Amino acid sequence: MTERKGDWWQIAVPEKWEGKTIEEIFRSEWEAPKKLTHTFRMEKKVRYEGTEANWNVPLTAGKRLELLLFQEEEILVPPYYRDIEILYEDDHVLVMNKPPFINTHPNDKDDVETLLNAAQFHMQANGEMRNVRQVHRLDRDTTGAIVFAKHALAGAILDRILVKREIKRTYIALVHGLLKQKKGTINKPVGRDRHHPTRRRVSPSGQEAITHYQVLKEDYTQHVTYVKCWLDTGRTHQIRIHFSHLGHPLVGDVLYGGKPIADRQALHAIKLEFTHPFTGEKVVCFAPFTDEPVIFKDIDVYQI
């Protein structure tokens, strides 16, 4: 059982932590960074049974452990008001449905009209005076589910499970042409294109990039295909590059050879799944389509 008590987060020590020390919980269970762990220890941000915790004493299942997670911080992210759709939220995590034509995070100090800034406004509007933390990103014109952390420890744990590929992100893309294979894996390294400032390309010297896909539906009239994709890696523009390389660029993706029959590249992060860093519960978020006019026609988001 876990609950918030003011600035403190309270947890009944679970059976699996029996006999482990707080030091071991931070190091092995959460794999928290050493610097952050040191801060919790030095600033006395952990209590056990209501008193300052001894980090080296074995814990007993059912006893009360408390962490100072929700105290106010100096706000470093300028808030920016924008109406945003919340897919999931609790004291630790915020999942939003990213609209198109907005950056995930600032690219320079003057770039404050981003999703990160909008998330910061949302937190402050709800009285949470802490810096929101970006966990992953979506391209400016890509839409769908994206996760942010609401405090430093949640951010560190989510960063770690992202690296370990334990945050599963499922996309839907609309590509030109009809694919020969109805399902498959594209394993082609991706690197920078030396001849273009923002474009990437398949390159033998690039970073490993693996995209799995499955055809959902074919539109023979428009000569396009709806494809479900999921990634083992998260390279910039990965899905866009891989399908362009196959000869099936995304609809609307003029940077990689798509035709401008949509006002953006037809890519949507439709589903996001992860194990909650503190409760251990499975979190599954589905992101409804928001495009007007509609890009992804007759696709049931909740059946992906």
Predicted pLDDT of residue 1: 79
If DSSP codes are grouped into helix, strand and coil, which group holds residue 105?
Answer: coil
In a domain, 94, yes or no: no
| Domain presence at residue 44 | yes
Quick check: pTM over 0.85?
A: yes
Peptide bond into 293 cis (omega under 30): yes
- Which residue range is the domain that position 201 belongs to? 170-268
> Is pLDDT of 2 > 90?
no
pLDDT of residue 299: 95
For the segment 122-145, what is each residue's pLDDT rounded down to a tens digit?
Answer: 999 999 999 999 999 999 999 999
* Residue range 299-304: mean pLDDT, rounded: 95
Average pLDDT (156-170) is 95
Among the candidates 68, 88, 123, a domain finishes at 68
Mean pLDDT of the chain: 96
Indicate if 139 belongs to the active site.
yes
Average pLDDT over residues 31-56: 97
The number of folded domains in the chain is: 2
Is residue 230 domain-resident? yes
* Domain boundary pick from 50, 68, 86: 68
- What's residue 109's pLDDT? 84
pLDDT for res 60: 97
Distance CA 64, CA 80 (A): 38
State mean pLDDT over 72-86.
95
Tell me which of 68, 94, 125 is where a domain ends: 68
What CATH number does residue 14 fall under? 3.10.290.10
Element at 152 (helix H, strand E): helix 152-163
Alpha carbon of 295 to those of 84, 96, 184, 285, 290: distances in Å?
20, 20, 24, 20, 9
pLDDT at 267: 98
pLDDT in tens, 202-252: 999 999 999 999 999 999 999 999 999 999 988 999 999 999 999 999 999
Residue 222 lies in a domain: yes
Residue 84 tokens, joined: 């945003």
The catalytically annotated residue of 90, 91, 111, 139 is 139
List all residues 6 or more positions away from 67 whose beta carbon is below 8 Å from its beta carbon: 8, 9, 11, 40, 45, 46, 153
